[in-house]
Amino acid sequence: MSRRPVQEEDGEPTDWPGSALVSDFLTRQLAGRRLAARSCLTYGRSLKGFALWMKSNGGWDGDWSKLTARHLRDFVIERQATHNRRSVHNQVSALRAFLSDLRERGGITTTPAAGLVLPKLPRSLPKFLTEAQTDTLMDSAEATEGDSPQTLARDMAILELLYGGGLRVSELCGMSGGDLDLGSGLVRLMGKGSKERVVPVGDSAVKAVQAYLALRGVPARGGALLLAARGGRLHPRAVQLMLKKKLLLAGLPADLTPHKLRHACATHLLSNGADLRLVQEQLGHASLSTTQIYTHLSVAKLREVHRKSHPRA
């Protein structure tokens, strides 16, 4: 069976210099579930941008074997003048992944990106809801006017699952009825890189889901656990819009996203004594260093409590 080429968001095929191997790479990454569809599009844009830059700086013919470390260094230097550091890192990550794959498949003999040095990224602390703000959000969500009882119950289930389990919104929307064991309060999730994990979501989330399913009146064993207004699987964008509405009604910052409930889950677990490695497993982080950023938030809280409470602080 022939594979269709990965396409841009506007539906146009990737026909720029060197695109054939890139298209094959992205298609295989998508088929093997190594990358999500959105990540494939992002990688495709980054690789296309680099290829067009190469063409405009010397008439590159699309032969990836001609790529050198000097090309990559010049590219990074120029990009730093017009893009932020995070964007540069993301573009180089796409290049590294592609070139590494190309080397494994015999398309090139060396990986010119191996010794590339990038500017350090600033370590910023994630935004999150405090415990009091989370309680306010949940209370306001229960009292929202204008929505049907079933919609209100579904939205409560969404919020409780995101916060109680530290779920990514993609994981939430991908859940099927059989993924959540209401008896044990455990949910089976398919995370990044098709890595499966089983985590607790808490009694509040279980009760919210039970209330929603009771109003739905139909067991969700085979299909999606949470349904969109017109039926079918819930979309991440619908969750984002719903949360903005709830935040507005609760008088909370409207720039908080569903992912911030995941941040809140991690921070509150650590603040209340949870082990760092257990939080890593809860969130599905591949590296403990990713989870450690939340310890800074917990330490900040400890410092404030110490300042207010210790007699010699």
Q: Which residues are catalytic?
A: 168, 192, 259, 262, 285, 294
Backbone angles phi, psi at 73, to 5 degrees: -60, -45
Question: Residue 3: how many CB atoms within 10 A of its CB?
Answer: 11
| Distance (Å, whole) CA 162 – CA 46 | 31
- Angle at the Cα of 230 from the Cα atoms of 226 and 233, rounded to 5 degrees: 35
| Distance (Å, whole) CA 148 – CA 17 | 53
Residue with tokens 């991908």: 174
Three-state SS for 92? helix
Cα atoms in the 13 Å half-sphere on the side-chain side of 91: 24
Cα atoms in the 13 Å half-sphere on the side-chain side of 30: 19
What angle, rounded to 10 degrees, do the helices at 236-250 and 149-165 form?
A: 100
Question: Residue 285: how many CB atoms within 10 A of its CB?
Answer: 19
Question: Residue 156: how many CB atoms within 10 A of its CB?
Answer: 22
Q: Which two tokens stand for residue 254?
A: 């409207």
Contact 175, 189 (CB under 8 A): yes
Identify the burial level of 292 via C-beta atoms within 10 angstroms of its C-beta, where 0-12 means exposed, 13-18 middle and 19 or more buried: middle
